[in-house]
Each structure stands twice: as structure tokens, then as C-alpha cells.
Amino acid sequence: MVRRGAGDVWPQRIARTLTTAYAVATLAAVGLMLFGRHGGAWFWRLGFGILNIPVDGSFLSVVALYLVTRALIGRKRVGLWLVGLFQLAAIWVGVATLLPVRLSPALALWRTQGPIGRTADILATGVTVAMLVLLWRIRGQFTGRLLPGSWRLAIAAAVIGTAVTGGVMWLLLGVQSTNRQRLDGVVDTVTAVLSGASHRSIRVTGVDPWVIDLTAFLAGVTLLVASSLFLISARPRNRWSPDREIALRELLAADGAEDSLGYFGTRRDRSAVFSPDGRAAVTYRVIAGVSLAAADPIGARDSWPAAIAAWLAEARRYGWQPAVLSAGETGARAYSAAGLRVLLMGDEAILDVARFTRRRPAMTAVRRAAGHARAAGVSVQIRRQSELDGSELEQLANASAGWLNGVNERGFTMALNRDADPADHRNLVVTAYTDGRLVAILRFVPWGWRDASLDLMRRGPDAPAGVTELMITELMARADRLGIARVSLNFCLFRGVYAEAERIGGRTLTKLNAGVLGVLDRFWQLERLYRANEKYRPSWVPRFLCYGDLLVLPRVLLAAAAAEGFLPWPQLRDRPPSRFPAGQLDRLLAITAPPVPSAPQRSDRQTVRRLDRLAELRSQGVDPYPAAEPAGTAATSLRELYETGAQPGRALSVSGRVRAIRDHGGVIFIDLIEGGYSLQLTAERGRTADFDRLGTIQSGDLLACTGLLGHTRNGTGSLLVRHWRLQAKSLHPLPWSHVDDPRSRSANRAADLITHPDDLIAIRQRAAAVGAIRDLLQRRDFLEVETPILQTVHGGAQARPFRTRLNGSGRELSLRIAPELYLKRLLVAGSGPVFEIGRNFRNEGIDGSHNPEFTSLEAYLPGGDYRTMMELARELIIAAAVAVHQKPVLWLPPAGNRCGDPAEVVDIGRPWPVVPMVDAVSAALGRVVGMDSDPALLRSLAERHQIAQLPADAGNGAVLEALYSKLVEPNTSQPTFYIDFPQETSPLTRPHRLDPGLVERWDLVAAGMEIGTAYTELTDPIDQRQRLTEQSLRAVAGDPEAMEVDEDFLRSLELGMPPTGGLGLGVDRVVMLLTNRPIRSVLAFPFSRSARSA
């Protein structure tokens, strides 16, 4: 990290200190104006007077300090100039203090400002010199420029205000009985006002104190109005224009599906700053000196940083404070990376059409409300804006405006604030009618091409109750036909506070905050808006406020309130058009028209050339993808040819895929491959039919050939082709160079298997192994069954499940992690020995031995125990080995290595080692440990071996098993049964008959990985319920792998299950042992991180 030197830091610190001093001075001036009569004012005047900051209790002082502070906060150069003017004025006051009264009678007022006195004025003169030097040194921190505004308006306001102030002062001085001439009174009053003094700090002979205060007030109003007119009349360079809106819509068309608020970026009261490459933009509005952006940047995400940098640069140029309302999580990260602070505002309600259903119990209130409206005769129409004619659009706009009852339109981040614009032809309009009379309107703007975001929600005063619920549920019911997948509803401020306050045991402070928000709800409908959205059971998506300096946060909140319509804010700028200019509407409509589906364009040069060859074949009347020919001469496989031997002169037919072609003019050599075997084809002009068309054949094509076996001139064995036929044209070249990167290989598994035929051999070996396992179990009278994959309760193992939802009922489901609990129900029912070979799913990591979906065998034998299942597991693996290798052997890598590493043949026909788990851990540690060991000792051993993330409540059993997984399992090469595990980690296993705290369980380990496990099954329903309840408590506490309580299973177990031995084998891992391959090579289609759906 590069450290900035002191020379870089101290100007920033001085600039911040100066800004803070003026902010405090402004607050002090306000306090003096309101409470100056209560004493203590001399302290503030003395303190700030020495610094030449004009703090006084007059309104003019407050306004002047506010304007300077605002300029300093915005780092505007004009603020620095004003501070400099105050410093120069101090020199004038110091000179006046030193001059005799007879030489400067007009300045006598500045010598009589109470406790400040001559000494303070002289000190302030000295401070001026130091301050001017500092101001010059920190000028680089104040580079902001004023946005060009209307000088005419500002000067006119200043002239009129000055004239009114002078006239009122002249009249007031004229009606008073004074001992001095009126002109002298005017001079003294003006001097007192401009000196920053009020009647509380100075006495002007012959002028009533309230005259000074009134004059100062009118002067302050004049200054405030003139400066405000100048600022609000300024026009940003990047204000709305037709070309800018078209550019924004092009970005939305390309990348508008991510942010539900993106379309609101086309509001015409917003300006836009684009990234240098034009692929992203930030839309914003300047209010109260705050450049207020909304939502995420629009456009390509990789161009967001450049767009944000351009927006921030413009804000710095003009001294605006950057802030963002309602940024999404991705956008907030981008703004944070650019240096802004992030604060959670609330959440946006999103309805997912695929998951929304009215039939859920939680939707009872919505169903009843919608039913009430339907019973009242409400009918709902849902149309695109383009389907409505101009008169109906005008009717809707008038009704919407009328229902506001004069209330100002609200919305900046989630409101479009325009009606009947042909540019918004894709808006979705939902209307409700009673007896043909319009009673409610919902309007949704496009969110990408397939979603919709709420823009307008209005209902008439006589609309029946439940009309909004009916409109939303009807929209969701028809969403599929409208091509809508998601609907964004309202944004709710402080939603987390309301949600937390509703929970049992919610924090007192949270409930207090909810109470405060309940009071505010009377004015701004905060809680009511949350309740109105929560009843639809939406997904809540967080939205964030981003801002720069903490000092400007109140100003940012003020700007946000003004932008959203909660506070009135004057606007003198030209209002943007409510309708897009007709002359450029065609350009815009072409952008916003829904995309027409089309075939993907081929850009790869080799693919384009192959498509050209395909067209050439078709032009010659050749079908590049013909149907199979009637059975004739049986094709000989290349494997069979190699096994039987090539007999010269033998006629045969072969088929395969072209690997390489060598064209020598009159002779063409083709290398044909099939199943890992290859054969050279020789085609000669005059001997091979359709010889000239062989020029259309390319690597990867499928060919069927007939000919005679023979030799080329150099003695190479070949098939001398007489006839050939194209079976399928390959449109892509194949990576014959054997790409070995697993991700690249699995991205196109078909091509991978073509170029790595050994993997096809492994798949065939897998089929043989699974067949042998199944055959052995069936010969032992085991019944093969199938159990549900979609389960309402995840159980049977400790693992993180995949979650899904049933659309028909809205019920939460999970993909099974193990079939165990269903198979045990069959045992209760009297099925006898039972097994299942099937797919399981666990939402866990991917590596050389793990895949998210995998095949396992689970078998249960009534009357057996874990010792019985130990022998069965050994017999099953030996049977699989014999089916693959014709003898009981495995290819096992040395200890510490994994499948796929160099291996040696191991005879598995001999008995396998059986080792107690605790003994294995003790041997690995080099010291005796057990269930009765000191917990602190076990934890220290775990830490020494870098075992992290042990739960705080983990007992000795969990720590011992963690040590076993770390030290024993990875270093076991030969097949070994580790037996007798802690009860703490085995919730479905019967307690050990001899050793308390242990259970009758074994793990079979080989090649550094667990191959299978078996239990003496727990059949005590009371004990089982207690263990599953403990697991469910862990799940409630946040453990994603803990099992849930399955009441159906427990009720079945309470009927009585016979003593049973249970076995689980990982079929994928058994095949890994048999073939010495990683898991990706033994699966037909392993999971690929880069896989894309077709």
C-alpha cells in the first residue's frame, strides 16, 4: 500500500477544518439569532471574531455564513474567495481600530462592539495575514466552479431587494424622532448591518434597535433570493435531450435486465453522464448542491466504473456533493469502490411469477380482499400502452391527476412522472372498472425485456375495497401470457426495522425505532407501505444510499426528500417535454421494439468454412445428415478388426470419425477413428466412387466406407475404399490436441469423449460395475425400489441441500441428500432386504472426489448389523472389480495421493483391515486420545493441525471426528474399515453395545477418500426423536447441514422397525477405485462451472 506524504494530507485536513469551522459558525449564528438575548453571545463573537468569521445574531449573518459554508462543503473556489474577502475586511476593521476617532468618525461603530474591544480587532488583523497564506496554499482543494446560471435573474432580484430594503429603512428612519439627520441614520444603520452586528452587539445613537434587525433581515432575504435564483436557474451541460434519451434506451435494450429501476433513468428531469466508451451512464439531478443519482448505473457492468468516475469528476468540477438513492447491491459495491459511503435505506418488493400463488395459507388476506372486489363487480383489464388509443390514455391521465386531490406528485427513483407518451409504448397498464366506470389504475414500466416495475398506483375515492389486491393477483395470473417473469412493487424504507420488531424476542431498541416510525407513518405512510407489500410475500431486495462525506449527509437527505416530493422545491429551469419529439420517435421505437428471435450468428472462421462446405454438399444433391441405410453388409467395428487381425483382400464395411485428411492429388489418405481405435483409409481416383466429392470431407465428419483390406506402397495397412457415404457433417473442428484443462473439457463433453475415448471405456466399466452390484444384491433377495427425489423434509444425512419450490402449491422442497428415511419406512412395512441405486444431491464443493449430484447405493438388511454389512460391502466391491478387471484387484495410488495419480495393482481378495477410529486418531497424533480426553487438550490438538471452524458447542466426539477427517482419512491407501464412531456425529446410528458414547458405525476408506459407511441402525423411536430434535435446533441456529425433524418417518418408526444393518456406498467412488480416475472421468456428464444451457 502506498502511503501519502504529509504534503498531500495537510491541505485536505486544513480544508476540512476550515469547512467545519464555518459550519459551526453558521449554527452559532442561528443560535444567536434565536437565543442571543439569554447571554453568552460575546463568547461566540469573540472566538469567531478573532478568526474573522462574521458571527452575529442577524439574519444577514446567518445567510452569508450559510452560503459560504455551502460553497466550502462543495469545494467551490468562490467559497474560498468569500473567506478571503472576510479576511481582508478584518484588515479594514483593524485599521479603523487604530485610527483616532476624529480621523474616522464614520468607523466609530466598529470600535464599540462590546467585549470584543481593540485587542481582539488587532489580533484578528494578525490572524488575517496567516489565514491569507493558508488560503493560498490550500487553493488546490477548492476547484469547484459555479454552473453558469441566470445573471439577469440574480441581478434583478438583488436590485429589487436592495431597493425595497433601502426604501423601508428610509421610511422607518423618517418617522422616528432623532437628534441626527436622516442621512446620518441611514449611514449608521447600513454600517451596522454590513459590519455583521445586530442591536444586541452594538448601540447606534438615534436608531431604534429593531430598525437594524429589520434592515439586516431584508438584506439577508435579498442575498438569499438572489443567490438561489442564480443557482436554480443553472442548466447542467448534460441535461436531457432526445439523443441522450435514445442513447440511454440503447443501453437499457442491451443491459437493462439487471436493475428494476433502470427504465426510470429515462425521466426527463435527469441529466446523464456517459462513460468514455459510451457503454454505461449515470443519471442524476442536481438539488441543493447535491448531484443525486438514482439506482445502479445503466449499461454494461464492466463500464460502470468509468461512468461513475465521469459523474464524480463532474460533481467535483462544479462543487456538487455526489449521492445515490436506491442503489442495488451490485451498484452499491461499484459506488463504494469509487469512494462513496454506503448506508442501507430499505428494501424493494419483488414478486417472482414462477413462485407466486394465491393458494398459499399466507396469502389468505390477499385472496379475501381480491374476492371482495370481485364480488363488488370489479373487472380488470391488462394491456400494453400501445393498445390504448389517445382518448383513453388522456382519460386515464386525467383520472390519475384528479385522484391526487391537489397533492404533489411524488417519486424520483421509482416514478416516471409522465403520461401518454408514445415513447413508453411498452408500459403495462392495469385498469379496474365497476359498471364500466374507471376506479383504479396500475402502471408498470419495462424492466428489461421480460419483467415489469411499478410506476403508478392510483385508485378512486369510491373504489371497492380489495381492488388493488385483485389487480395485482390478476396481473400475476396472466403474467405468463404477457411474457413477464418478475414484477417489482414498491420500495419500503426501514423495512428491516419493521420485520425485526415483529419477531418474537426482538430487541427493545428495534421496537422503539418501530414506534418512532409509526408516528412518522401518519405523515409519510412508511409502515402502511410495508404492510401493503408484505402481504404478497415478496422477495425483499436491499437498496442503499451512497454519499461522500458524513458532514454533508443532512444535505443529501434534504435533497433526497425534495427529489422524492416530500419537501417542496422550486424549479425555474425549462421543464423537459412530457412527450418525446415526434420527429425522432421512429428511432426510439426501433430501439424499444422487442427483439425478434433469430438463429445465433456463427462467427468462428472454421465454422463458417464448414457451413460453406455444407451448402456445397446440398447444392450437389447430397444429404449431409442422411437416414440409416437398410441393413446390408454388417459394419465391422475397428476394435473387432484389431482383435481378429487384418487379412489382406478381405472385404468389409467400417464407419467412424475422420481425424485427419492428407490429399496427394490422385490419392487421399484419411485417418478414421472409432472407440479409441484407428484405421487408415486410402481413396484413389478411378477406384473410389465419388472421389472428387471427398474434397468436402473435413476432420470430425462421420463416414461409412466399404472396401478391401490391403497395403499402401510403403507397406502401411489400409482399407482401399471403393464406396463411401457421409453419415453426418461436423460443423465444428475437434480439439484433437487433447486439451487437458478439466473446465475446457467438460464445457463440451461430447467433443471431450470423442478426443478422450478412454473416458468412454471408463463409462462402460462403470456400467459393468453397477450391473455386478445390482446382480449380487438381487441374488441375495434384496428388493430394488425407488424413493422420491423431491422431499419436503431434508434428512438421512448431514449435508447442505438444494432448495426449490413447487409452483402449484408454493411448498418448499429440497432435492434428496439420501434415501435412507424412505427405505426405513419400507422396512417398517415389512419389505425385507431392500436397496436403491439412485441419484442424490448435495449443495457442496466440487473437486476430484465430489460432484453436486452423485450416485449411491443404500441397502438395508433386517436381522443384520454393521458387522454383517461390512462383509456385504467387501463382497460388492470385489464383484464390481471382477466385472471390470476379471479378477479381484484395484489400482490404488500410494498413501497421500488421489485417484488419477500413478497407482499400483492391489489384490483385494484378502481380508481388509478393521481399525477402531479412536485408535487410528491416536496413532496419527502419536498419543493416546479418546472420548474421555480433556476437551481443552483435544481442541488444542485440532488447532495445532489447522482444523478451523469447529462449532463452539462441539464436544469431544466432533473434535475427534474432525481429527480423523484431517489426519487419518487422507492418508489411507488400502481399503480399511474404521469402526466405532462418536454418537455425537451419528444421529441415525444405534449406540454401541459395549462402549458408551460410541455408535456401531464404520467408514470404508481407500485412496484417501471415504467409499462407504454402514450402521447398526437406530430403531428406538424415542431416542431417534430426541436426536433429530437436537439436529433441528442446530438447523434453527443456522447450521445449514443439520437435519430437520421428519414426523412421517418418526411416526413410521414408532410402529416398530426390526433390528437392521444399513449400508451406503458411493458408486461413483467405487468406480474411481476400479479405474484409478478422478470423478469427472467416471461420470458421463460431470458438473461444469462453465456449462451453459442450450
Burial class of residue 1043 in the structure, from the number of CB atoms within 10 Å of its CB (0-12 exposed, 13-18 middle, 19+ buried):
buried
Whether 927 is covered by a domain: the verdict is no
Claim to verify: residue 319 and residue 371 sit in the same structural domain? no
Instruction: In whole angstroms, give the CA distance from residue 617 to residue 597.
Output: 28
pLDDT of residue 323: 94
Burial class of residue 290 in the structure, from the number of CB atoms within 10 Å of its CB (0-12 exposed, 13-18 middle, 19+ buried):
buried
Claim to verify: residue 87 and residue 220 sit in the same structural domain? yes
Query: Which of the listed residues 177, 203, 232 is the one where a domain comes to its end?
Result: 232
| Residue 628 predicted with pLDDT over 90 | no
Residue 303's domain is classified under what CATH number?
3.40.630
pLDDT of residue 1060: 94
Name 683's bridge partners: 668
Claim to verify: residue 180 and residue 62 sit in the same structural domain? yes
Instruction: In whole angstroms, give the CA distance from residue 1074 to residue 905.
Output: 10
* Full-model pTM: 0.58
More confidently predicted of 508 and 671? 671
What is the arithmetic mean of pLDDT over 166-175?
Answer: 66
Whether 74 is covered by a domain: the verdict is yes
Tell me the Ramachandran region of residue 1038: left when phi exceeds 0, alpha when psi lies from -120 to 50, beta otherwise.
left
Task: Measure the CA angle with vertex 535, ends 533 and 538; round to 5°.
Answer: 65
| Residue 660 predicted with pLDDT over 70 | yes
Claim to verify: residue 211 and residue 240 sit in the same structural domain? no
What is the arithmetic mean of pLDDT over 359-363?
Answer: 77
Query: Which of the listed residues 440, 458, 484 is the one where a domain comes to its end?
Result: 484
| Residue 1003 predicted with pLDDT over 70 | yes
Q: Which of 154-163, 567-576, 1016-1025, 1055-1064 has the lowest mean pLDDT?
A: 567-576
Which residues touch 837 (CB under 8 Å, ≥6 apart)?
A: 770, 773, 774, 784, 855, 856, 857, 1067
Claim to verify: residue 240 and residue 219 sit in the same structural domain? no
Contact 770, 881 (CB under 8 A): no
Instruction: In whole angstroms, give the CA distance from residue 299 to residue 23.
Output: 39
Whether 536 is covered by a domain: the verdict is no
Q: Which of 443-452, 488-497, 1083-1092 has the lowest mean pLDDT?
A: 1083-1092
400-429 burial: b if 16+ Cβ within 10 Å, else e = beebeeeeeeebbbbbbbbbbbebbbbbbb
Per-residue confidence at 275, pLDDT binned at 50, 70, 90?
very high
Claim to verify: residue 896 and residue 1042 sit in the same structural domain? yes
Task: Quickly list H helices, 407-482.
Answer: 467-477, 479-482
Task: Quickly list H helices, 783-912.
Answer: 820-828, 866-885
Name 721's bridge partners: 707
Instruction: In whole angstroms, give the CA distance from residue 1048 to residue 821.
Output: 9
Per-residue confidence at 830, pLDDT binned at 50, 70, 90?
very high
How many residues make up the chain in this entry?
Answer: 1094
For the chain, the domain total comes to 5
Whether 708 is covered by a domain: the verdict is yes
**DSSP string covering 647-701, please?**
-TT-EEEEEEEEEEEEE-SSEEEEEEEETTEEEEEEEETTTSTTGGGGGG--TT-
| Residue 296 predicted with pLDDT over 60 | yes
Claim to verify: residue 705 and residue 782 sit in the same structural domain? no
Q: What is the CA radius of gyration of the chain?
A: 42
What is the arithmetic mean of pLDDT over 535-555?
Answer: 86
**DSSP string covering 297-340, please?**
PEE-GGGHHHHHHHHHHHHHHHTPEEEEEEE-HHHHHHHHHTT-
Residue 293 CB neighbour total at 10 angstroms: 32
Which residue is listed with cell 427529489? 563
What is the SS3 assignment for 266? helix
Claim to verify: residue 67 and residue 177 sit in the same structural domain? yes
Instruction: In whole angstroms, give the CA distance from residue 584 to residue 577.
Output: 13
Whether 539 is covered by a domain: the verdict is no
Claim to verify: residue 225 and residue 250 sit in the same structural domain? no
- Packed helices 59-73 and 6-35: angle between N→C axes, nearest 10 degrees: 160
Whether 116 is covered by a domain: the verdict is yes
The single-letter DSSP state of residue 788 is -
Render pLDDT for 173-206 as a digit per residue (tens, 0 to 9).
Answer: 665 545 445 555 556 666 666 655 544 445 555 5
pLDDT of residue 473: 92
Contact 504, 1036 (CB under 8 A): no
| Residue 1034 predicted with pLDDT over 90 | no
**What's the N-to-C CA distance of the chain in angstroms?**
45
Beta strands at 790-791 and 803-806: parallel, antiparallel or unpaired: unpaired
| Residue 834 predicted with pLDDT over 90 | yes
Claim to verify: residue 1002 and residue 895 sit in the same structural domain? yes
Render pLDDT for 907-935 as a digit per residue (tens, 0 to 9).
Answer: 999 999 999 999 999 999 999 998 888 88
pLDDT of residue 98: 57
Residue 372's domain is classified under what CATH number?
3.40.630.30
Which residues touch 1008 (CB under 8 Å, ≥6 apart)?
A: 893, 895, 896, 897, 898, 969, 970, 971, 972, 973
The dihedrals phi and psi of 429, each to the nearest 5 degrees, come to -115, 120
Q: Which of 19-23, 142-146, 462-466, 1022-1026 has the lowest mean pLDDT?
A: 142-146
pLDDT of residue 935: 86
Query: Which of the listed residues 232, 255, 285 is the one where a domain comes to its end?
Result: 232
| Residue 1 predicted with pLDDT over 50 | no
Per-residue confidence at 845, pLDDT binned at 50, 70, 90?
low
pLDDT of residue 5: 42
Most distant pair of Cα atoms in the chain: their distance: 142
Contact 412, 294 (CB under 8 A): yes
Q: How many CA atoms lie within 13 A of 299 on its CB side?
A: 27
More confidently predicted of 153 and 534? 534
Joined together, the cell numbers standing for residue 827 give: 422396512
Residue 234 CB neighbour total at 10 angstroms: 15
pLDDT of residue 1011: 93
Cα 580 to Cα 388, 589, 1015, 1068, distances in angstroms: 17, 11, 74, 63
pLDDT of residue 286: 85
pLDDT of residue 354: 80
The single-letter DSSP state of residue 636 is P
What is the SS3 assignment for 113? coil
| Residue 1029 predicted with pLDDT over 90 | no
Whether 741 is covered by a domain: the verdict is no
Task: List the one residue out of 915, 1002, 1009, 997 whose CA is nearest residue 958.
Answer: 997
Whether 529 is covered by a domain: the verdict is no
| Residue 44 predicted with pLDDT over 80 | no
Share of the chain above pLDDT 90, in %: 26
Instruction: In whole angstroms, give the CA distance from residue 868 to residue 865.
Output: 5
pLDDT of residue 201: 47
Beta strands at 790-791 and 811-815: parallel, antiparallel or unpaired: antiparallel
Claim to verify: residue 182 and residue 269 sit in the same structural domain? no
Instruction: In whole angstroms, give the CA distance from residue 694 to residue 762.
Output: 34
Residue 876 lies in domain: 760-913+974-1082
Instruction: In whole angstroms, give the CA distance from residue 200 to residue 55.
Output: 12
Render pLDDT for 943-961 as a digit per residue (tens, 0 to 9).
Answer: 888 887 777 778 888 899 8
Claim to verify: residue 54 and residue 153 sit in the same structural domain? yes
| Residue 708 predicted with pLDDT over 80 | yes
- Packed helices 495-502 and 508-524: angle between N→C axes, nearest 10 degrees: 130
The dihedrals phi and psi of 495, each to the nearest 5 degrees, come to -60, -40
Residue 721's domain is classified under what CATH number?
2.40.50.140
pLDDT of residue 490: 80
Instruction: In whole angstroms, give the CA distance from residue 721 to residue 691.
Output: 10
Task: List the one residue out of 618, 613, 714, 624 whose CA is nearest residue 669.
Answer: 714
Per-residue confidence at 306, pLDDT binned at 50, 70, 90?
very high
pLDDT of residue 115: 42
Instruction: In whole angstroms, give the CA distance from residue 229 to residue 69.
Output: 18
Which residue is listed with cell 412395512? 829
Q: How many CA atoms lie within 13 A of 333 on its CB side?
A: 5
pLDDT of residue 145: 61
3-state SS, one letter per residue, for 489-504: EEEEECHHHHHHHHCC
Name 77's bridge partners: none
Q: Which of 63-67, 624-628, 870-874 has the lowest mean pLDDT?
A: 63-67
More confidently predicted of 889 and 1038? 889
pLDDT of residue 1094: 35
Joined together, the cell numbers standing for residue 342 give: 454506503
| Residue 785 predicted with pLDDT over 90 | yes
pLDDT of residue 148: 58
pLDDT of residue 871: 95
| Residue 877 predicted with pLDDT over 90 | yes
The single-letter DSSP state of residue 448 is T
> Cα 969 from chain centroid?
38
Arithmetic mean of pLDDT over the chain:
79
Q: Which of 92-96, 255-259, 676-680 has the lowest mean pLDDT?
A: 92-96
Instruction: In whole angstroms, give the CA distance from residue 335 to residue 322.
Output: 10
- Packed helices 304-318 and 329-337: angle between N→C axes, nearest 10 degrees: 60
Which stretch, 161-165, 372-376, 627-631, has highest mean pLDDT? 372-376
The dihedrals phi and psi of 137, each to the nearest 5 degrees, come to -70, -30
